[in-house]
Every structure is written in structure tokens, then in C-alpha cells.
Structure 1
């Protein structure tokens, strides 16, 4: 099997209504989907959700000559060669471009063997994962940014979720009131996490965590800027709630610094940022050395969703306050790109099944992306 063609799709949509967090309102979501086509006709898929246009340019100019004509089964060798093209760009679009290619190479290689990616990487440790709804989102345009949470949470619970991650970060006082209202609404058996989306200083995050403490949070995510090791460490030392993060970190070295400082209790590398499956497993090995839970961050299209299920199935379980890690994140906002190849349902017990079909189990034709595609290009061997 050899890669004979690379197809890129720059696509996106405008969320209706817009969704917000402590840092910004999101009125447009853009992605790069990368399709590698093999001489057998098989297609492997990868994704970039941050800096998609820049990553696409780097695939076209730097990575395509390495990948075209190569065997997907040599993904380890190809990964090293792609890393050699980065120069100074080890945490930006260059790593994101490599991530998308690595995801697609693993997808193709597993399909060629007739097994899932998890099976190809040593075998899944589980067949299902507890899912949490990544929602509701702040409405910063409204007088009451959290005012719609009650109705939206009712809808989330009707979709079988037994855990949810509302966005927080309006103010410590407002956060505390919101978290307690959510706990009263969902009762004691539903897990709650909150995501600050880098919106606070360390001092404000500590006050917010203390005001939310009685709600019994599973974790507080990204309380400060992603490279603020000292800030994360100060928060972790000051409050009992687990501090999670890492979706914006792109290398094992970056995660190492946080672990050495005791700054995070849960690691959340994103396959589209940290180097695909290869990068994710390197971070997972590092986390294991510190006995820290690791799970994929997922907030994009069906491509990363399916890849994250495969990756999470490989992670050694760690016992948390409410069952075992890892969890799988599910974007519960209105996202048409999660369902372009059929919905991945949440089961009645709040879990998602890990697909065991070849690759990631994704059957997607590029033509189906047309309603959301702004630009596409192809390169052949």
C-alpha cells in the first residue's frame, strides 16, 4: 500500500446561535480535513481545528513530498521525517499539519490490515467510554450569560449524558452560583466539569474554584493561559478540585514541564495539535510515569471524534472521583460536521461504543463535505 494522492478540504460553518466562553464568542468554526488516498482505493482521514489554512499550506509545501509514494505502515519513520521539517515551529501550524497527516496514515494502515486503529496499535483496553457533553456555552451577548443553562441542560440529559462540562469564567461569584444551580438541577449522580477556556488569572481562578467547590466538580479545565506553568501550579496547590489542561500543548516537552511542576491533575492532549496518534501516545507514556490520567480533548468534526475514541481506548485506566478515567468529550452544540457520516450515539448508560471497524470506521466521501467547503486542492504522486 502506498499513498498516491492528498486531498485537502478547508471547511467551516457559523454556529447558530453563536457559542461563547470566557475568552470570546465563537461565530465561525473552521477546519482542515485531510484525505490521504492509497493505491488500493482506501482513504484515511486527518483533521486540524486550529490554524487550518496555515496547516494546509504546510502540508502542501513541506509534508506532501515526504508522504506521497510512501507506505502508511511506515508512519513512525514518516513522523520523524515530518518532525525534521519544523525548524522553530514546534507548537504551531507545523505540528498541527503533522498531526493531521499522522492521523490519516494510521487510519490507512489499520484499514489495510482489516483492523481498527486501536487494534493496530496493540489492542483496545475497553469497548466503551463514558461520555461527557461539552456544553452549555456562555452567551456573552445576553444580560444573563448563564441564563439559558437550565433549559439546555435538560436537553443534554435527555440525550443520555451522565456528565456535562458547562463553560464558566464570567466572574468567580457568578461561577459559584451557576455551578451550584447546575448541581441542584442534575442531582448527585451526574458528573460536572467546568471549562474556563484560559479566561482567568491564577488568583481569579482560585477564587472561582473555591466558590464552586460545594458543587463537587470532577475537574476545572484551562483556568489560565496554556503555557502558564506557574499559574497552573499555584491553582493546583490552592484548591482541591483537579486541574485539567493541555489541549493547546503540542509536544511531550511541554507536558513534561507541567508534570514536573505538579501543575495538572488531568492531561488533555488533542490529536489534531499534539502530533496525531504518535504524539498522543508519547504524552500518554509520559503521563503514566507520573500516574496522571490522560484523555483526548475533542472539539471538532467526526474525524477527530472517531480518532479520539480509538486513542482513548488505548489508555490505561486511572481511578477518579466518579469512576474510571478516561472520559470522551462530545461537542453537544449544533455541529453538523459531527454527523456527516452518521451520528455516534450516546448509549442509555451514558457511554459511547468504540468502533471496531477497520481504521476508525469512518466511511466518508469528500463530496459530502461540499456544503461546508470553501477551498479544496489535490496533489498526486
Structure 2
């Protein structure tokens, strides 16, 4: 099923059919920051209103847990490669800040000397990620070549080298894709699924599903469809036109009156508009379970104003998404009481960066959400395993593979409406089809 590949990047795109311990040099090392935080009673209430089932308490740390493996598992990369990952969407995906008609991401394949293979995905969404596809492809390809040429080293050292070669938010998506592939290869090598590697709390998650910015009639059709598929939480994209947003909400309520709402403005409102949205929803008898990124990412005062008004008036939690792209951002949100929830996206901060923010938020008592860009089941599977294994997320938003016109991923998790089950024996279980014409060579 797998074939050996050269350790260099290539520009040939992936096209898919339907269905299916030596010393190591460091590159430009960057300082590590220690998380800190405070306790808050808000997180307890947020978990009580979470649209996802309350997760079980984390399982005891196991000997093969991720932290332990960083010191004990020696990684020897035999080959690594990056390719464009292009998949059309079933319908245009419009949010306040952008419009997409296809996924244009980067797929990453890492093969260890043992023969174990790992897959990762670098998502590209220019309104959120710093990279476009060519930039991400070049960055990932460069690091793939470094990995294949480097001597064996502990997993932690390898991941630090990746972070040093792809630093900060400018390379976060590329870094996430490489980290995913390396970690997946390690999990495949030791024959355990990722959800166990990350803590073993659960082997399933329940996701919401997104309705993009569309007409009221289109929104109603989607809501009716998703109701039939068992989705109880709808994430509604808003933020372009306040009056239109209200009409869409009314249309959805007619066909799915018992659903829970998450509003996601993607930075589209001013603080005054965001509070007006909540006032008007209250007049309609609608209370969202979450209001995500209501204002511009750099409008810290506006974020705080909306958070205070939303909680004091209506007991609505506000989530920081685009405003939280690093541990420093998370610490600012925590110390300034700027939001009630932090949305974790691997493409915003990488896998290791995400784990740092998760740790800081948990210590501070801040509730967590996990989401994604527009990705296939490679990236969503990795994020889902991480969420299930940690068991600490109040809101799960991992639905974008359901919005694609075709599924290029073989294996991986099993989806039954909103329920994702991770029944694979090792890694995240997903891989990409090796097309003889345009696939991996």
C-alpha cells in the first residue's frame, strides 16, 4: 500500500478519486515561554452548557504517553515529502473574512527507517494562516529535506528542530503539518492510536456543523438536512450584514427549533454591533451557547466589552479564535479576562504550541474549544484524536471534511452524523491514495 519516496518536495499535485541517539544541530533556536494563569468559576459553567457530551476525566498517564515519548523514542526519518492537496468543496464556503471554493492545502508524508509512515496536513486559509499554498509547500518541503538528512534523535529534539526551522505564526500551518506527520509516524511505529498517546480519555468526539454565510432559504435547507443527520449544534457564520444574519437565524429556527447555536463572526462585527446581535437574539428568544470571535483580532478592548456584556446580560460565553494565535496571546486573554473560551486550532500555533496553550488554559480554568480551518480528514483526524485523548474540550468544531465534495482520505475515523469514532489500531489511521499518474512517486 505504501511505497518508498524521495526525500524532496515536489510540485505535482495530489488528485483524488471519490471513496476512498546522535547529536543534532539546532536551527535558529527560539526561547520557550512558561504558561501561567488564574482560576475562574466560569469554566465550570461553560462545561455544563457545552453542546458536546461532558468528557470523562483524563485517564492516568501511561508509559507511552506523548511527554514520555519525547524523551525516549528515537526518530530516524528515512524519507519525507510534501505535495499540494487540492479538493473541491461541495459548495462555496463564505465567512465574514473570505470565500473558498476548494481546499488548497499541503499534504505531508514522513517515513521512518522502521517503515512506519505518518501523514500530516498543513491547512491554508489566507484570512487566518500567514501562508498561502505555494509558501506552505516550499516551507514544508525545505523541512522535509532537513528531516530526511538528519541523524536519528529523540522525538522531542526532532520536534524542537521543526519548530526552530518553522518559527512563529508565520509558519504555524506548515509546522503543524510536519508535526502531525512525525507524531503519526511514531504512533504507527509503536502501534497505538493517537487518542491513547494524548491521554486516553475517550475514543470519540461529537462535533457541531457549520452553516456558512448564505441566504435564509439556503440556510433553512442546510439546517433541515443536518437535523435529519442528527446534528444538534449548528455553528452559524455571521458578521457581514447584521440584518441578514437575523433573517438567517429566523429561517433556521423554523426548521430546526431545538438546535443549539454557536455564532461565529470571524472578526466581522464592531463591539457595538456584536452586543446588538445578542440584544436582538434575546428579543427573538434565542440564546447562543457560544459567540466566537465577535470583533477584529486586535480589538482587545472590544473583545473584553463583548465578553462582559454577553455574560452579564445573557450568560453567553465568548470565544477568542483569531485573537489567540500563540501562548503570548493566550496569556493576554487569561490575565485580562478578555474571553471565556479559547479556540485551539493546530494550524494557528502548531501541535506543540497548541499543547502549551491548552495547558495554560486548563491551569487558568478557561474553557476550551477545538476547531480547524478547511481541512480533510487527515488534519481533522489528528485534531479529533487529540481532543478525544485529552478530554478537556467543551466545544468540538471539527466538521470541515463534511463540506468537501469528495473524501480523499482512506481509513481514519468513522463518522456517523456528528459522532466521530476512533477505532483505528494506530496513529490517526488515515492515509492518502497513491495515484499512479499524479500521486506520490
Bin the TM-score by the shorter chain: 0.7 to 0.9
Give secondary structure in 2 for the equivalent of 1:289. Answer: helix
Among residues 325, 329, 334, which one is paired with 1:259 in the alignment?
A: 334
Q: CA deviation at 1:264?
A: 2.0
The alignment status of 1:132 with 2:213, answered yes or no, reads no
The alignment status of 1:84 with 2:164, answered yes or no, reads yes
CA distance in 2, matches of 1:248, 1:54: 23
Q: How does 1:252-331 map to 2 (within 5 A)?
A: 252-276=327-351, 278-298=352-372, 299-317=374-392, 325-331=394-400
Q: Deviations over 1:222-281 (max 9, x none)?
A: 2222333222112101213211232574321122112222222222121123112x2222
Q: In 2, are the aligned partners of 1:59 and 1:97 still within 8 Å (CA)? A: yes
Aligned equivalent of 2:108: 34
Larger deviation, residues 53-62 vs 124-133: 53-62
CA distance in 1, matches of 2:334, 2:281: 25
CA distance in 2, matches of 1:16, 1:288: 37
Larger deviation, residues 10-19 vs 336-345: 336-345
Give secondary structure in 1 for the equivalent of 2:237. Answer: coil
Q: CA deviation at 1:84?
A: 2.7
CA distance in 2, matches of 1:149, 1:195: 15
Return 5+ residue gaps in structure 1 as ranges. Answer: 140-144, 319-324
CA RMSD between the two structures? 2.7
Give secondary structure in 1 for the equivalent of 2:344. Answer: coil
Q: In 1, are the aligned partners of 2:195 and 2:385 still within 8 Å (CA)? A: yes
CA distance in 2, matches of 1:275, 1:343: 21
Q: In 2, are the aligned partners of 1:229 and 1:261 still within 8 Å (CA)? A: no
Aligned equivalent of 2:422: 354
Give secondary structure in 1 for the equivalent of 2:429. Answer: coil
Q: In 1, are the aligned partners of 2:414 and 2:423 still within 8 Å (CA)? A: no
Q: In 2, are the aligned partners of 1:270 and 1:280 still within 8 Å (CA)? A: yes
Aligned equivalent of 2:252: 182
The normalised TM-score by structure 2 is 0.73
Q: CA deviation at 1:346?
A: 4.0
Q: Deviations over 1:182-238 (max 9, x none)?
A: 2343233x3221221222222222212322243221111222223332221121012
Larger deviation, residues 212-221 vs 110-119: 212-221
Aligned equivalent of 1:142: none
Q: CA deviation at 1:53?
A: 2.1
Among residues 157, 178, 186, which one is paired with 1:101 in the alignment?
A: 178
CA distance in 2, matches of 1:21, 1:244: 17
Q: In 1, are the aligned partners of 2:412 and 2:431 still within 8 Å (CA)? A: no
Larger deviation, residues 108-117 vs 236-245: 236-245
CA distance in 2, matches of 1:68, 1:273: 27
CA distance in 2, matches of 1:179, 1:160: 19
Aligned equivalent of 2:320: 245
Q: In 2, are the aligned partners of 1:191 and 1:218 still within 8 Å (CA)? A: yes
Larger deviation, residues 19-28 vs 337-346: 337-346
Q: CA deviation at 1:362?
A: 1.4
The alignment status of 1:58 with 2:139, answered yes or no, reads yes
Aligned equivalent of 2:83: 9
CA distance in 1, matches of 2:245, 2:405: 30
The normalised TM-score by structure 1 is 0.83
Higher Rg: 2
Aligned equivalent of 1:113: 190
Give secondary structure in 2 for the equivalent of 1:225. Answer: coil
How many residues in Structure 1 have an aligned counterpart in Structure 2? 353
The alignment status of 1:367 with 2:438, answered yes or no, reads no
CA distance in 1, matches of 2:437, 2:420: 25
Q: In 2, are the aligned partners of 1:13 and 1:28 still within 8 Å (CA)? A: yes
